[in-house]
């Protein structure tokens, strides 16, 4: 099965998933980037709480994040876990914006996608998945984050046995060119992974089971693997 076929099959099961990444402020470009950093190794519900708190305290701004005392920032973002590490990452990211983008994150998205990605990856604490989250959802640029859900889904469905980040990312980008479709495809994979393609998959309830290599190989033995 081709990647472009998967998005259509997932849409038939779950409907369209547009505007998947929520926005809570007028400064939603910077807000999304901050959310992408905070969501590392935590649940989105925790990130929502922190984002709303930052808006309430009027510190969702690179200048204010740089200037706020680190211990105070740690207390604000504590629900997201790893608060000391993430406070440093928020400060480093905000400093990058102030020093390299004239305090305006949107200037990053005026570059070519590959150039913008290389710059982000130079920032402490910004890995490939976080960079691609920022570029896709905040910058509307052609890329896609390859998270754990995506790697597991692609392996199970049988599109590729490779788990390499760039291998899967390139495979998707070679077949899906539209930014809105890329956002939706990622959202649909997450939805599918949370509902049925779990750590222990609910294969009998899966609308893709007749196309799934994992199901076909293991339906007799009922074997489950990740």
Q: What is the CATH number of the domain that holds 14?
A: 1.10.1670.10
The parent domain of residue 167 ranges over 3-18+145-218
pLDDT at 22: 84
Q: Are residues 108 and 38 in the same domain?
A: yes
Question: pTM value?
Answer: 0.93
Q: Are residues 126 and 51 in the same domain?
A: yes
* Domain count for the chain: 2
Q: Are residues 112 and 211 in the same domain?
A: no
Considering the domain boundaries, does residue 81 fall inside one? yes
Q: Choose one of 84, 117, 138: the last residue of a domain.
A: 138
Considering the domain boundaries, does residue 74 fall inside one? yes
Q: Using 50 as the pLDDT threshold, list the residues of the chain that sit under it.
A: 225-226
CATH classification at residue 80 = 1.10.340.30
Considering the domain boundaries, does residue 67 fall inside one? yes
pLDDT at 20: 74
Q: Are residues 133 and 198 in the same domain?
A: no
pLDDT at 68: 98
Q: Choose one of 138, 169, 200: the last residue of a domain.
A: 138
pLDDT at 220: 64
Q: Choose one of 95, 110, 138: the last residue of a domain.
A: 138
**CA 79 to CA 50: how far, in whole Å?**
7
Considering the domain boundaries, does residue 14 fall inside one? yes
HEC readout, the chain: CCHHHHHHHHHHHHCCCCCCCCCCCCCHHHHHHHHHHHCCCCCHHHHHHHHHHHHHCCCCCHHHHHHCCHHHHHHHCHHHCCHHHHHHHHHHHHHHHHHHCCCCHHHHHHCCHHHHHHHHHCCCCCCHHHHHHHHHHHCCCCCCCCCHHHHHHHHHHCCCCCCCHHHHHHHHHHHCCCHHHHHHHHHHHHHHHHHCCCCCCCHHHCCCHHHCHHHHHHCCCCCCCC
pLDDT at 226: 45
């Amino acid at each position: 099965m081709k990647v472009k076929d998967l998005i259509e099959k997932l849409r038939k099961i779950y409907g369209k998933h547009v505007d998947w990444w929520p926005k809570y402020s007028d400064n939603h470009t910077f807000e999304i980037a901050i959310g992408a950093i905070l969501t590392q190794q935590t649940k989105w519900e925790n990130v929502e709480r922190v984002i709303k708190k930052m808006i309430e305290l009027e510190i969702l701004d690179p200048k204010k994040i740089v200037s706020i005392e680190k211990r105070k920032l740690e207390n604000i973002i504590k629900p997201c876990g790893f608060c000391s590490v993430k406070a440093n990452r928020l400060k480093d990211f905000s400093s990058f914006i102030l020093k390299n983008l004239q305090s305006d994150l949107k200037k990053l998205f005026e570059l070519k996608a590959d150039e913008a990605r290389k710059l982000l990856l130079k920032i402490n604490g910004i890995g490939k998945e976080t960079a691609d989250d920022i570029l896709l959802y905040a910058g509307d640029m052609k890329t896609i984050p390859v998270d754990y859900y995506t790697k597991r889904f692609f392996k199970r469905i049988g599109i590729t046995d490779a788990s390499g980040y760039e291998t899967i990312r390139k495979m998707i980008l070679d077949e899906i060119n539209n930014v809105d479709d890329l956002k939706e495809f990622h959202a649909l994979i997450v939805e599918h992974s949370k509902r049925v393609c779990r750590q222990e998959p609910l294969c009998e309830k899966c609308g893709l089971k007749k196309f799934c290599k994992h199901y076909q190989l293991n339906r007799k033995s009922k074997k489950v693997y990740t």
